[in-house]
Structure 1
């Protein structure tokens, strides 16, 4: 069965990041498998309207402005007219939302569910349970996922986290890891310096990514190893703190800040390094260490979240999220870099290429779509009970919201009947919607 799939997230190109790359690569593979795929995101500056990307991937840059950290303002109602029009126009069978942080993804799945369209959600993050922001986010996620047909997590740790914090039954959650385009992340040992050992970190410079740990690690590591140099790519609120640390310890000649990088520039930075270091305090998967390993680098990483599931033990040094433990792991990697290794850069690349393939991710995602499509739609009573089980106040609030959405939907159906919405031309040869036979 071939489906018409709508990927929805606040995070997409031209912004760069793990979610953005995941949505794009997955969409490309699904297109190659014969499915119809569109992407819906918010506008980026002057980029508003419809754009086409590689393989004819159609992207709707909706005229919604961001409110906080690249996400649109949660309103529940104002996004319905345009999203309804897109779903009908593109004859969408499945709406696939990405990222727990994405307001647009949650609202799109809510509207799709009320229109009888199947929904799938991919969670790319881990959350705690104690602080105020986590409690609010978890409750919101629990309400949102009450009507989603199936969830996908990128690691088994992520699955446990999602099941606990969103109160989702485990049989509704599948684990499909991220992947890497190994053809784009290949080693180039000639780019490495022979008279020094280069440690690379490419990440957003924020607290969650361990920028404070990095600030404590760099002076100690540089004093201990004369040949050590750091190459830091990325930007964020912690960059000024890292630059101040560099000046204070007179390490300007041993620490280089590259600023924000395009995803297409990451490989050229990685191949200059011998060791990649990840200081994150929480990670569901961490695609950055997979890209680094694909480029032949040794990896040192904090043992957090789903990171221990990502690489074999002989390709990664796992440490605790402390400066002392990271320094110990870095010492081991430096010692390994100074002698002939059992694994060459190309050996590491080939192992990663065999483990993480986007084609396999797409095939397993299609299996999830098949499961969702075969599952009977829930009746109104069971849907109401799911919302009530999500919380005494939030559940009743969502039922009230759904009532308003149904009234609004009825008005839109009268004001702009679906029969009057012109269907989009389908340029994907051989595509057949799950709802409609191919027209010749």
Structure 2
């Protein structure tokens, strides 16, 4: 099967892109041909082959204007690309590539699948000023409505219910988080807790709290810090990740005199991030909007307690180490009541790389088979 993947970002940028990379690698090992069209960033080459995957980077992306230009240019580039090659399936990550990718797929008779990596909907109005919130909300809805996808993939039933009124496409619920058993096993067995904590400046009597994720409004890190500022217990909050909210977060830390309690590490390689997760006392998820976050499943698979806001598909994750809160103010209460890790292997069984990739492969083969039947008719 010849699969074209269209994504504004590709590995190693962020959790969703990391999962996409692992999916592509797995499908390649199963003898499927994978071609990726993505944006060019940080001096990357226009083209490269990586582990049997062809990666095309025709032009850059960036701020809002450059992302719009990327989408416009992508239409012309894809049109020529599809005229010159035979493709069985187009798989795109919403939102920027969705309209050009799915409309051209329909034009050339290629089934297309759109993954909604995130969907905030009306929650945008809690995250931004009214004009920006309205723009983001309309962009999400119009992209879903105007896209000509055969199938829309979401990660949890909650999102499926919210987007169902905006599309006539088939909706499939598939968790996009793929846990690599080898990486999890390597981290569980090889992490030196003491060294990691010493390197991060964690004192023996400090509770090591960890947040991993982009510093963007939806992650709600700003309010998490404000809540923890009033907590009496001795703690160190380590933030792994970067983003447009960093400057705002840094100013808050200075204003609240929390330089000794909050550490910003910025982005870290995935292996290092897993070791940090393995070494923490509690992983925190403060998000206002999520589907099924990679980091929550990784932390649970690594045997760490997680305290998470009740968002998206998080409440559907079954683990004794997952503690849900409705408000950030409840985090302290949960910790004070006692949070200890319990040994379990449910997460690796339910969200393994092999299991999730089989679901995607089955969907791709079904739609590709429909295309072949149509061509025979």
How does the TM-score come out when normalised to structure 2? 0.85
Question: Are the structure 2 counterparts of residues 252 and 69 from structure 1 closer, same or farther at C-alpha, using a change threshold of 3 Å?
Answer: farther
Q: Distance in 2 between matches of 1:135 and 1:260?
A: 28
Structure 2 counterpart of 1:91: 86
Report the 3-state secondary structure (helix = DSSP H, G, I; strand = E; otherwise coil) of the residue aligned with 2:182.
Answer: coil
Provide the secondary structure at the position in 2 that maps to 1:62: coil
Q: Counterpart of 1:149?
A: 150
Residue 43 in structure 1 maps to residue 45 in structure 2: no
Unpaired stretches in structure 2, ≥5 consecutive residues: 126-132, 198-203
Q: CA deviation at 1:65?
A: 4.1
Shift of 1:175: 0.9
Structure 1 residues 73-92: aligned runs within 5 Å: 73=69, 76=72, 78-92=73-87
Output the CA distance in 1 between the equivalents of 2:32 and 2:373. 25
Partner residue, 1:119: 112
Q: Give 1 or 2 for the bigger CA radius of gyration.
A: 1
Corresponding residue number in structure 2 for 1:315: 321
Of 135, 138, 141, the match for 1:136: 138
**Matching residue of 2:233:** 225
Equivalent-residue separation in structure 1 for 2:339 and 2:62 (angstroms):
46
The one of the two structures with greater contact order (alpha-carbon pairs below 8 A, sep at least 6) is 1
Instruction: Give runs of ≥4 in structure 1 deviating > 4 Å.
Output: 376-379
What residue number does 1:215 align with? Answer: 225
* Deviations 1:238-279 (CA, angstroms, capped at 9, x unpaired): 333333333344432332221222334311321221110000
Q: 2:310 aligned with 1:303, yes or no?
A: yes
Aligned to 1:180: 179
8 Å contact 2:283–2:304 — kept in the other structure? yes
Aligned equivalents of 2:207, 2:37: Cα separation in 1: 43
Partner-residue secondary structure (3-state), 1:276:
strand
Tell me, yes or no, if the aligned pair for 2:41 and 2:60 is still in contact at 8 Å.
Answer: no
Cα distance per residue 1:136-186 (max 9 Å; x no partner): 1244224333x211121111112112213x2335xx111111221232133
The separation in 2 between residues aligned to 1:373 and 1:62, in whole angstroms, is 26
Query: 1:189 Cα deviation (Å)?
Result: 6.6
Q: Cα distance, 1:88 vs. partner?
A: 4.2
Which residue among 215, 230, 238 is the counterpart of 1:205? 215
SS state at 2:38 partner: strand
Return closer, same or farther for 1:47/1:30 CA change in 2, 3 Å cut-off: same
Matches within 5 A, 1:5-404: 5-14=3-12, 16-53=13-50, 55-68=51-64, 71-73=67-69, 76=72, 78-99=73-94, 101=95, 103-129=96-122, 131-145=133-147, 147-164=148-165, 166-168=166-168, 172-177=170-175, 178-185=177-184, 186-187=187-188, 190-192=192-194, 194-221=204-231, 224-226=232-234, 228-312=235-319, 314-320=320-326, 322-332=327-337, 335-337=338-340, 343=342, 347-348=343-344, 350-375=345-370
Cα distance in 2 for partners of 1:370, 1:214 equals: 43
Per the TM alignment, residue 292 of structure 1 is displaced from its structure 2 partner at its CA by: 1.4
- Please provide the CA RMSD for this pair: 2.7
The answer as to whether partners of 1:95 and 1:119 remain within 8 angstroms in 2 is yes
What TM-score do you get using the length of structure 1 for normalisation?
Answer: 0.73
Query: In the TM superposition, what is the alpha-carbon distance from 1:377 to its structure 2 partner?
Result: 9.3
Distance verdict in 2 for CA 1:231–1:139, change over 3 Å: closer
Conserved? CA contact 2:211–2:239, under 8 Å:
yes
**1: CA distance between counterparts of 2:104 and 2:309?**
39
Shift of 1:97: 0.7
Return the offset for 1:336: 2.6
Greater shift, 350-359 or 26-35, is seen at 350-359
